[in-house]
Structure formats: C-alpha cells, structure tokens
C-alpha cells in the first residue's frame, strides 16, 4: 500500500481580481501558509501559467517549479476542464461555451473544437516538461441533452455520439501517451462521461486506451445517488487523480435529483465545504490507500453557503487528518513463528 500525497488545492475557484488571489506567487504563498503542499493549476488562466511557453520550454518549467518550491508548494496536475469541455460540445450550448474559448475561434464550433484539442496537446507537453504524471479535464458532451429518453432517442444515437467523442479524443490521448501523462476525466453531470457506465462506454470506444483515466470526485456521485465507495472497488485501476469535495443530498416531497431548476442553495443535492456534507471521506481515503493510490488529494472548493476563504482554511487540516500513513508491517507480526516449508507441512499434518 502507498500513502496519498497532500493536502493540495485547485486554484480555479480562488483566482480573483484582489490580492492575494490575483497572481500565482501571492496565491501560492497564501495556500502554503494555510498548510497546502500542492496546487492544481487552471491552464486557461494566464496569471497561473503560460501554457504555450510551458509546452515549448523546459527552462520555463524548471524556473516555474523552482519558484513554487521556494514558496513551499508544488504542482499536482494541470487542469484543462474548460478546454476539455470544448473538445465536444452540442450546439445547444454554443453561445454559453463560447466564452471558454479564445476570441478568434468564437462563433465557429469547428475552429473552437480544433483550438481545444490543440490546448489539450499543449497541456500534455507542458505536463511532461513539469514532470507530472496526470492531468485533470472534462470530456465534453454531445449526447448529454438526450440523457432522459423522451422523446425516445433514435436508435444508435448514443453509439454515434460516443463514436464521435472517441474520434476526437483518440489523438489527444495518443499525445498524452507520448508525454507519459494520464488524462483524468472528472465524471460530471453535463459531460458525456458522468458515471461508471458512461466511462466504460468511452473506454471501449477508444479501444481501452491506457491513458483514459478518472479524476475521482465523490461530490458528483452523491448528487447522482451513485455508490461512490463501490465505484472505487470497480474502477480503482483507472483512478489517477482525486478531487476532495463534499456534497449532500436531501430529497423532499417537492424535489429530488433534478431539483426543480432551483438555485444551488435550494437544491436537494448541493456542494458543501469539507466536513459540512455527507461524503464518507474516511471510507474513501481507506479504500484509495488500500488500492495503492499514491497521487494527490486535491481540495476543490464549491460551497453554496460557506465562503471560499473559510473553506480553504478548513480544508488543509481536514485533508491532512484523513491521509493514512500506510503500515509497512502486519499488526500480528509480533506473533510470527518464522516458520519454513517443513514446519508448515508439520502444522498441516503432512
């Protein structure tokens, strides 16, 4: 067994216009002072990283790592959630997703998807130059608008959607394979990969590609009412990244999983700060440790009630308290007899 690394924190939800959240140096120092040892980098925010330069210059990456090391943190993964979303996007969402893309490819879905794929490939090379082994992202979605089959889906619609999704992702996965980096899809409602079944369908469509892996986030499974502990039993060999995020599900006579278009604070299922929700993190950390997960535990803060500053301050000690220093010896070693094969045969009466 191996010990999980952490605590770490995803910077995306904390970046802002005011100090210390408006530059990499200042936010890294802020998080280090709170007790975080790692930071996950949103690659779409130029204040956090110059993705193109990181992909092209090992010197840039060495200096980048050195600066963060002096502050007291290191990079856990690069995040390409927004770019990954644009690899495949149903036209229904074009207007809303255009803001994620570079200005020159907006209002042009084909150019936007090509730009997104190029961004992912840059992130693969940048991850390699930074010495990283995994990267977190979204899959994008073509089939999501047809999740609930009314009117009935045309025969073969889902198969066609996943075939196209695989076609778009296969070259990206190959680029990550060349870089020696895993692509870790956050399984998330709104994406075509949102649970174990859809992930399996995608892995089959990309011919079992070894770089198609999972960024495990139990909060999205609580909102779907999926067994997030059994999920680890089923897919632990593909879990290569971990977002530590809490959530709760409190159905009423008025709303359930779909939550009646309510805002986040009024939904039956809602994200919470660590320790304020229903996620069994003791069970999660135990299972991940049992299955030799040895990468980072990264806080992703998304709470509908608590402030991000309080959530971040409470998150580091929460994660640290859940990290298990795995044992290197069995608890009953003291009773060992040092037996050999001959002794074992004698015990068995052979």
Residue 168 φ then ψ, to 5°: -75, -35
Supply the pLDDT for residue 334. Answer: 63
The single residue listed with the structure tokens 């998150």 is 315
Q: Is 34 exposed, middle or buried (0-12, 13-18, 19+ CB in 10 A)?
A: middle
Supply the pLDDT for residue 31. Answer: 98
Supply the pLDDT for residue 329. Answer: 73
pLDDT tens, position by position, 52-74:
999 999 999 999 999 999 999 99
pTM for this predicted structure: 0.95
Supply the pLDDT for residue 328. Answer: 77
- Residue pair 140/87 in contact (Cβ under 8 Å)? The answer is yes
| Cα–Cα distance measured from residue 283 to residue 252, given in angstroms and rounded to the nearest whole number | 27
pLDDT tens, position by position, 222-259:
999 999 999 999 999 999 999 999 999 999 999 999 99
Report all structural domains of the chain as residue ranges with CATH numbers, in order of start: 5-347 (3.20.20.150)
Supply the pLDDT for residue 1. Answer: 84
Supply the pLDDT for residue 262. Answer: 96
Neighbours of 242 (CB within 10 A): 29
The single residue listed with the structure tokens 């952490």 is 6
| Cα–Cα distance measured from residue 190 to residue 306, given in angstroms and rounded to the nearest whole number | 24
Whether omega for the bond prior to residue 309 falls within 30 degrees of 0, making it cis, is no
The per-residue DSSP string of 244-274 comes to: E-EEEE---SS--SSGGG--GGG-SEEEE-T
- Mean pLDDT, 10 residues at a time, over the chain (350 residues)? 95 97 98 98 98 98 98 98 98 96 97 98 98 98 96 97 98 98 98 98 98 98 98 98 98 96 96 98 98 97 97 98 88 70 90
Supply the pLDDT for residue 112. Answer: 98
Supply the pLDDT for residue 336. Answer: 73
Neighbours of 103 (CB within 10 A): 8
Neighbours of 258 (CB within 10 A): 11
């Amino acid at each position: 067994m191996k010990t999980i690394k952490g605590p770490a924190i995803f910077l995306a939800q904390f970046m802002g216009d005011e100090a210390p959240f408006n530059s990499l140096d200042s936010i890294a120092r802020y998080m280090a002072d709170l007790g975080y040892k790692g930071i996950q980098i949103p690659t779409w925010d130029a204040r956090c990283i110059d993705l193109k330069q990181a992909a092209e210059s090992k010197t840039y990456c060495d200096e980048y790592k050195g600066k963060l090391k002096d502050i007291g943190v290191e990079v856990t993964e690069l995040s390409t959630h927004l770019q990954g979303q644009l690899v495949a996007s149903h036209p229904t969402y074009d207007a809303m997703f255009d803001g994620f893309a570079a200005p020159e490819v907006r209002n042009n879905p084909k150019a936007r998807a090509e730009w997104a794929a190029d961004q992912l490939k840059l992130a693969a090379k940048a991850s390699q130059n930074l010495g990283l082994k995994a990267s977190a992202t979204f899959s994008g979605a073509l089939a999501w608008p047809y999740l609930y089959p009314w009117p009935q889906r045309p025969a073969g619609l889902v198969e066609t959607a996943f075939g196209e999704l695989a076609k778009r992702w296969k070259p990206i996965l190959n680029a990550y394979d060349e870089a020696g980096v895993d692509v870790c899809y956050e399984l998330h409602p709104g994406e075509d990969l949102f649970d174990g079944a859809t992930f399996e369908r995608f892995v089959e469509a990309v011919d079992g590609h070894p770089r198609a892996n999972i960024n495990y986030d139990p909060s999205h499974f609580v909102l779907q009412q999926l067994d997030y502990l059994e999920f680890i039993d089923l897919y632990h060999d593909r879990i290569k990244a971990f977002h530590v995020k809490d959530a709760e599900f409190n159905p009423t006579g008025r709303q359930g999983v779909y939550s009646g278009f309510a805002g986040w604070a009024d939904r039956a299922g809602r994200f919470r700060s660590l320790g304020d929700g229903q996620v069994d993190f003791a069970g999660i950390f135990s299972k991940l440790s049992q299955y030799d997960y040895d990468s980072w535990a990264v806080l992703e803060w998304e709470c509908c009630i608590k402030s991000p500053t309080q959530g971040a301050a409470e998150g580091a000690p929460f994660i640290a308290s859940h990290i298990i220093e795995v044992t290197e010896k069995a608890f009953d070693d003291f009773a060992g007899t040092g037996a050999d094969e001959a002794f074992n045969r004698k015990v068995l009466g052979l």
